[in-house]
Amino acid sequence: MRILLTGGCGFIGSAVVRHLIRNTSHSVINIDKMTYAASESALEEALSSPRHALIRADIADAEAVCAAFAIHHPDAVMHLAAESHVDRSIDGPGAFVATNIVGTYNLLAAACAYWSGLAPEAKARFRFHHISTDEVFGALGPADPPFTEATPYFPRSPYSASKAAADHLARAWFHTYGLPTIVSNTTNNYGPWQFPEKLVPLILISALEGERLPVYGNGANRRDWLYVEDHAEALVRVLERGIPGATYCIGGRSPSSNLEIVLLICRLLDELAPDPRGPRSRLISFVADRPGHDFRYEIDPSSAEAALSWRARHDLTQGLRRTIGWYLTNQSWWKEIRATRYRGQRLGTAA
C-alpha cells in the first residue's frame, strides 16, 4: 500500500512512519511543512529507506497537495499534519485555522477528485484516515464518564475548535461525496522525539537542567496518557481495518493529574540519573493557570480496542521510563533545540 502521510516529521507522525517502515511492507509519501517542531532525524532509518519519500510542502497550498496525488498515486491517506499546541493557539490562532481547517479541506478536496477517478477495485480499497484529538469533546468533570465515540463535541480553545472543524469536514466528505473517511481521536501522547514545549519533555529536560518545573494552577487537571509507539500501532490498524464513516477513540488507560505526572517523572529521573543536589521534586513551581484550561480529558478505548484487536502495551510508568531513557541518551538533540530553535512563549503544562 502507498500511503500519503501528512506531518510525518512531527512527533506522532514520525512514530507512525517508523512503525510503517519497521513493521509493515507499506510505502510512505511523507508531506511535511517542516515547522519548528518537525525533525528529519525523528524518521531514523526511514530517511534511507526506499519505501519512504519526503516532500517538503504545506498542506495549506492546494496546488502542492494536488500534485502529490497526481505524482505518487496513493492507495490511502493518513492525515496527521496539524498545529497542536494550545498555548500557541491562544497567542496566534490564524496558523491553526490555516493548517488544521484549510489544510484539511485541501486534502479532502484533492483526495475526493483523485478517488473519483480510480478504477473500481482501487476505489473500493482507498481510505482517508483523519487523526484528531480528544480535546474536541471539551472538558470532563471529576465524576463524568470518559469520552467515547458518541460524545458530543464541545471544543473550548482555538486549537480544539480547529480540530473539531477538521473532524466535521472529514465526516461531511464521507456523507456527501462518499469519500471513505475514517476519524480517530486520541488523548495526550508522550515518548521519544517530542518537541520540548509539551509537558513531559518540558518537565524532564527542565529537571535534568536543574531548572524550575512549572505546573499550571494546582496541578489537579487530569489527562489520559498514551505512549506514542502504542498510538502509532493503533493508527495503522485503523487504516488497515477501519470501517469508512466510523470513529475510533484511542486511549492508553493511564489517567493522571498533571502534578502526578510531574512527580512520577521526578521519581524515575532520580532513579535513572540521580542529582547530588537532591530529589527533583524540590524544583516544582506552581504558576498562574492559562486561559481556557480544561479540567479533565479521558477516553474509554473499549470500542476501538475490540474493533482493532489492539491495546496499549505500555502503562504510564513503563512508557515514561522508556521516554526518560531516550531523552538521557539523546541529549544532543534537545540541547540543540533549546539553544537555537525553541520559541515557546509560555512555560507550563501543555495539556
Active site members = 134-135, 159
What's at 34, amino acid-wise? M
**If residue 124 lies in a helix (H) or strand (E), which one and from where to where?**
helix 120-125
The residue with cell 496566534 is 92
Q: Strand pairing of 255-257 and 247-250? A: unpaired
Q: Is 263 exposed, middle or buried (0-12, 13-18, 19+ CB in 10 A)?
A: buried
Question: In angstroms, rounded to a whole number, what is the distance separating the alpha carbons of residues 227 and 270?
Answer: 21
Task: Output the nine-digit C-alpha cell for 236.
Answer: 495503522
CB atoms within 10 A of CB 277: 9
Question: In angstroms, rounded to a whole number, what is the distance separating the alpha carbons of residues 226 and 211?
Answer: 26
Look at residues 209, 201, 200 and name the one whose alpha carbon lies nearest to residue 277.
209
Q: What is the DSSP letter of 157?
A: S
Task: Output the nine-digit C-alpha cell for 61.
Answer: 497550498
The SS3 assignment for 184 reads strand
Q: Which residues pair with 77 in a beta bridge?
A: 4, 128
By the 8 A CB rule, do 223 and 255 touch?
yes
What's at 130, amino acid-wise? H
